[in-house]
Amino acid sequence: MITVTDLSIQLNGQPILNGVTIEARPGEVTVLLGPNGSGKTTLLLCLSAQLRPQSGTIMLGGHQLEGLPRRRLAQLVATVPQEHHPVFPYTVRELILLGRVSRVGYWAQPGSRDQELVQDILELLGIKSLADKPYTRISGGERQLVLIARCLAQEPQVLLLDEPTSHLDFKNQVVILELVRDLARQRQFTVLLTLHDPNLALLFADRVVLLAGGQVVAQGTPGEVVQPAAMAQLYGMEVEMLSQGERRLLCPKLS
């Protein structure tokens, strides 16, 4: 579980997050929704200790994030960034094996268990055929699967994903988010991710946090939070809710 209490941060003298308080639970997908510049990515960077807030606390499984050694943090928290450009032309298998560094040590060679774990992950995600291909020569959807595979190799408790559907086609957006939701439930990961599309939050989130101007304006279940009035205020546009059975869909009101 992640518990964030009254977190604030400034970058270059500009306030980015102000008094943010949220909770993300094991076995659930928590989605951060908000317009560009609302602080979503900054919050994820704080949760992965890549940025240090000026005030507030982040608790991870009963431990304060700030006091965790870097290696222990890497064993607990895995991150899929918006963009990933490796320095070396790793194969897919090699890139996934890098997820084992926090477990085996930086200079140690991965052992048979590490190799077997990576093979199991390749099969689990259906990307075994990519194992020996250069990571730089596979598609965007395949890259996202490989980055998630690297996270699984860390054997973490928390999975953070920054806009995992960006640059993906319609099918691959669904594939990635279904996978993330299933991993959260089956492995009891605490999953926190950022999205731009509220309809994807309606489909895949267990909880939604709305961010605007670096502040939390609402949080709760998708049914409670992803409502036309809230979306109109968040994005500055009129929307309406369409329903088909139990499915709901937000649609912009066009002039």
CA 181 – CA 55 distance, rounded (Å): 31
**Helix ranges restricted to H, the chain:** 40-47, 70-76, 92-97, 101-104, 112-124, 140-153, 170-187, 198-204, 222-225, 228-235
What pLDDT digit, counting tens, does each position of 160-198 carry? Answer: 999 999 888 999 999 999 999 999 999 999 999 999 999
Q: What is the mean pLDDT of residues 51-62?
A: 94
Q: CB count, 10 Å around CB of 144?
A: 24
- pLDDT tens across 65-117, in order? 998 999 999 999 999 998 878 778 899 999 999 999 988 877 778 889 999 99
Domains and CATH numbers, the chain: 2-252 (3.40.50.300)
> Which residue type does 232 have?
A
pLDDT of residue 7: 98
Q: pLDDT tens, 213-234?
A: 999 999 999 999 999 999 999 9
Distance separating alpha carbons of residues 70 and 243, to the nearest angstrom: 47
Using CA atoms, how far apart are residues 218 and 195, in angstroms rounded to an integer?
A: 15
